[in-house]
Structure 1
Amino acid sequence: MRHFSLIALVCISFSAFAQNKIIVFQTDFGTKDGAVAEMKGVAIGVSPALQLFDLTHEIPAYNIWEAAYRLQQTAPYWPAGTVFVSVVDPGVGSARKSVVLKTKSGHFFVTPDNGTLTLVAKKLGIAAIRQIDESRNRRQHSAESYTFHGRDVYAYTAARLASGTITFEQVGPQLPDSVVRIPFQEPVYSNHIISGNIPVLDIQYGNIWTNIDGATFNQLKLQTGDTLHVKIFHGDTLVYTGDMPYVTTFSAVPDGAPLAYLNSLLNVSFALNMENFSIRYRIYSGPDWKVEISSKNG
């Protein structure tokens, strides 16, 4: 009896871990037309019990890198078993693979394997990857459509997976545990300099967000109020160089003055108090933007 109870508990736990009936959608479609509603309609048609949420539909057109970042930013805050659908797919209809990534954290990502998985694969780890078998996991009567895989393949497959209609193994054949990756500068400390990437802006305010985490930043052994020397590059071109204090609040510096701080993700960021750093210095984000930080305090 005890043995049976243990098996039942394991099965229940696995089921909750694998399918929790939650789908989170991300696209570059915008919401001016019916594309997003079509995807959600397909999902609800599979199971009305599904809970559907939006990450964003305002990814800049074709910007795979920003899609990758937004998944990394948000996925850890959703429970295990959540299924994410990300459709930023400039290669739709090409040879790029349609896949479902299961991460070691228990999240699922339904997307083209075109670089979108670069950051979640690294941050959350790869448990397994399966290529979507469209002979089984494609909306009925959609075989002649080659331009809306987000609706006909991704939303449909995600709904089947999230609702428990299919298991992860029934998505399709297993692939090697690797994804298409976009190269970028990872945070590293060397010779008293920290190098990193500017993956995204705090777009509403023009603050510069880096991927330099607190642990890497702490290798500079700074105290609050110490001064940083900051260089920002676009490719090999130096775009900005300047000094700024490391502070915990924006009000620690005068209006218009630069500052360095840890953002809500505990990554190093730069700002101008009450002004827009990005606009003033024409600094933007992406895999080809790099930052170097050193201490002015010895």
Structure 2
Amino acid sequence: MNIDVTEFRLREGDEVDLGLWATNVKPLCKSKKAYRKVLEDQVEQLSDQQRMLYASNRHALLVVFQAMDTAGKDGAIRHVMSGVNPQGCQVFSFAHPSARELQHDFLWRTTRDLPERGRIGIFNRSYYEEVLIVRVHSSILQSESIPDLPSNESVWHGRFRSIVDLERHLHANGTRIVKVFLHLSKEEQRKRLLARIDEPDKNWKFSVADIAERKFWDAYMQAYGHALGATSTTDSPWFIVPADDKDNARLIVSQIVLDALEGLKLSYPVVTAARRQELKAIRKQLAK
């Protein structure tokens, strides 16, 4: 199954009202068995593409995940990347900045963890937190010790510009970026939070902080809308993925990543005639 993900891709320049974007769509598979088969096929294709990415050593892929709490970032990463060689893939999660990180510009801490050529890097939350949670909780901005702090709106426009410039630079130097916003409804989040309380094996996932942040839902939706609209570009697009159905979301995310790798038109390095002769000579020695 080849899933058409164009309906989830945000076009450059579009304004975003997340209330108009679906959090659920018709199931892509008729059964759990069919879902597992499609995901298995996608994972196998991803594994093949990742090997060629590593072997060719010319490009890197950065996948950015952003979402509200309980939207399924961890599960999507775990299922979609299950067949990828760990040597060629790194996952980084970004929580509240440390004291050391606050002494640098807002892009510094994530820039250190960008993927090398030949590898896939996954950001579970990212530099976008600096135009999301920091925008919702403006007191955080004061702790960043920014000199000559400009007016509120110009701060975000400046950061959007810095982000777009960074992503344009990375693209020009071989790093392809796909950005996934897992779009969860407030009602579905409520159900998942209750499940974390009611089901013992999910108790460890529950955090009182999630309840506190839920109170700012509308502010987050507005902040996400501004950020997605200002930073989705032709080269580094945002995908707004309906996340109320976890199986659907995982298949869509898997297809997005697969499309990005296939778009690189990867192949294994071509062996020169001289190298082939060298290999033949070595083989003769080993065959003795």
TM-score in terms of structure 2 length: 0.26
Q: Which has the higher strand share?
A: 1
TM-score in terms of structure 1 length: 0.25
Greater RCO (Cα-Cα under 8 Å, separation 6 or more): 2
Q: Which has the higher helix share?
A: 2
